[in-house]
A and B are shown apart, each in its own frame.
Chain A
Amino acid sequence: MNTLVQAPPHAAAATGKSAAHPFMNPYLAGFLLGLVLLATYVVTGRGLGATAGFAALATGLASLDGAEHLQTSVVHLKYWNDGAPLLNWTLFLLVGALIGAAISGWQANRFSFSIERGPNITDRQRLMLAFVGGFIAACGAKLAKGCTSGQALTGSSVLNVSGLLFLGAVFLAGFVVAQVARKEWL
């Protein structure tokens, strides 16, 4: 059985809790996301990004082991920010995203402690795959200098070939790997 069962309206009425609202029309949501990205360009001259926030946090955590340890990696040094790796623009963007999503989810009754998966795998398997997938996605994003936000969305919207190329590769691999991973989702 699925962990995340969408409660039918009558069940919701019975428990006294209101059901999750339906998602916004995707074209309208896309327009909204586009306005945010446009505002980001207009104010800062660069687009959105999510992976760099993780990288800054990783460097912040690695520095707990002593700052001299970071000297061996140019990647760590890039995010060291003179000893304040957590005062990073993209990390604040991530924290903001967490807050914005929480506001949206709360308003639409979509908060629920649950695990997203298809009906044919266990919660435990899904959690392991989520971690492994996150690790692989991180390696890909670091190598390509961006993720769905920093390369695909931000790059494509200004017709940067690197972003369009990345976007194409993501969907190509996505469709192929999805056939192997049918059991996880279908």
Chain B
Amino acid sequence: MFPLSNFHEFTLGAELAIALVLGVGFGFALERAGFGSARKLTAVFYLYDMAVVKVMFTAVVTTLVGLALLSGVGMFDMSAIYLEPTNWTAQIVGGLLFGAGFVVGGYCPGTSMAAIATGRKDGMLFALGMLAGVWAYAEFTPGLDDWYKATASGVITLPDATGIAIGWWALVFVATLAFAAWGMARLERRFAHLNPQP
């Protein structure tokens, strides 16, 4: 039954309209969470406001539990979703670079949209830097795409790698989130003094 795209051929217009609608929900949720603010986002690295982890972790758990339930009752075909192959070097080096850019720039690509939409000039500069970065990648290092494919380890998911089904993983993630929520509340109290604007 789902994903819908497997059983229904969308026209280009319909596809773009769907993207726009989902995008509105995406941007709305990010701004609601306070992710249009670079200080709110970077606060996670100084441990006085863990909102980034709370929001991301809860979103991951929500989607994971939702998909586990839908596939459990046979309404969703997990094998039909697109999964990026794992390339250990690319994800580690790229992730390290991205993390550095996140702290220095104050945003990530999606949240910079929320920043721009609420008038943050630094969000605009971050987005321009992003644009320059992806342009430079395409112009000067296009060969890295072939290198990625050649050295990738293929698609690896936790259920495949461990033999433990998605439903059990969903339970593990829910339990971890509950424990993390308790831990994060403690961290926020412990590091509250670092907040420059209490």
Instruction: Closest B residue to A96 by CB, please name it.
Output: B23
Contact A29 B128 (CB under 8 A): no
Instruction: Closest A residue to B1 by CB, please name it.
Output: A42
Binding site for A on B (CB under 8 A): 2-6, 12, 15-16, 18-34, 36-40, 42-46, 50-51, 54-64, 66-67, 70, 76, 78, 80-88, 90-123, 125-139, 142, 144-146, 148, 155-159, 161, 166, 169, 181, 194, 196-197
Shortest CB distance B30–A (Å): 6
Contact B58 A97 (CB under 8 A): no
Chain A interfacial residues counted at CB < 8 A: 128
Residues in A neighbouring B29, C-beta threshold 8 A: 29, 32-33, 36, 100
Contact A158 B157 (CB under 8 A): yes
Shortest CB distance B185–A (Å): 11
Residues in B neighbouring A172, C-beta threshold 8 A: 95-96, 99
**Binding site secondary structure of chain B:** helix
Q: How far is the CA of A135 from the CA of B107 in the complex (A)?
A: 11
Q: How far is the CA of A112 from the CA of B21 in the complex (A)?
A: 25
Shortest CB distance A144–B (Å): 3
Contact A34 B63 (CB under 8 A): yes
Contact B27 A99 (CB under 8 A): yes
Residues in A neighbouring B132, C-beta threshold 8 A: 131, 134-135, 138
Contact B46 A134 (CB under 8 A): no
Select the residue from A24, A35, A169, A170 with max chain B CB neighbours within 10 A. Answer: A170
Contact B25 A36 (CB under 8 A): yes
Residues in B neighbouring A186, C-beta threshold 8 A: 46, 194, 196
Residues in B neighbouring A67, C-beta threshold 8 A: none
Residues in A neighbouring B84, C-beta threshold 8 A: 145-146, 150-151, 155, 160, 162-163
Shortest CB distance B58–A (Å): 3
Looking at the complex, which one of B24, B27, B181 makes contact with A27 (CB distance below 8 Å)? Answer: B181
Looking at the complex, which one of B105, B110, B156 makes contact with A149 (CB distance below 8 Å)? Answer: B110
Looking at the complex, which one of B51, B80, B104 makes contact with A177 (CB distance below 8 Å)? Answer: B104
- Asked whether A12 is an interface residue with its Cβ less than 8 Å from the other chain, the reply is no
Contact A178 B45 (CB under 8 A): yes
Residues in B neighbouring A143, C-beta threshold 8 A: 90, 93-94, 97, 137, 144, 148
Chain A, residues 146-171, CB within 8 Å of chain B (1/0): the string is: 11111111011111111111111111
**Additional A-B contacts beyond A54-B109, A138-B131, A158-B83 (10; CB < 8 A):** A26-B34, A26-B58, A101-B30, A101-B113, A116-B38, A133-B104, A140-B98, A153-B60, A165-B92, A177-B99
Q: What are 26 A-B contacts with C-beta separation under 8 Å?
A: A2-B197, A30-B55, A30-B62, A31-B58, A33-B29, A33-B55, A41-B67, A54-B131, A100-B29, A133-B103, A133-B105, A133-B126, A134-B131, A138-B130, A140-B100, A142-B134, A150-B84, A151-B95, A152-B56, A159-B64, A160-B83, A170-B96, A170-B99, A174-B45, A185-B39, A185-B43
Shortest CB distance B31–A (Å): 4
Q: How far is the CA of A184 from the CA of B105 in the complex (A)?
A: 10
Chain A, residues 30-56, CB within 8 Å of chain B (1/0): the string is: 111111111111111111101101110
Residues in B neighbouring A140, C-beta threshold 8 A: 93-101
- Asked whether A103 is an interface residue with its Cβ less than 8 Å from the other chain, the reply is yes
Shortest CB distance B155–A (Å): 7
Q: How far is the CA of A112 from the CA of B116 in the complex (A)?
A: 10
- Asked whether A19 is an interface residue with its Cβ less than 8 Å from the other chain, the reply is no
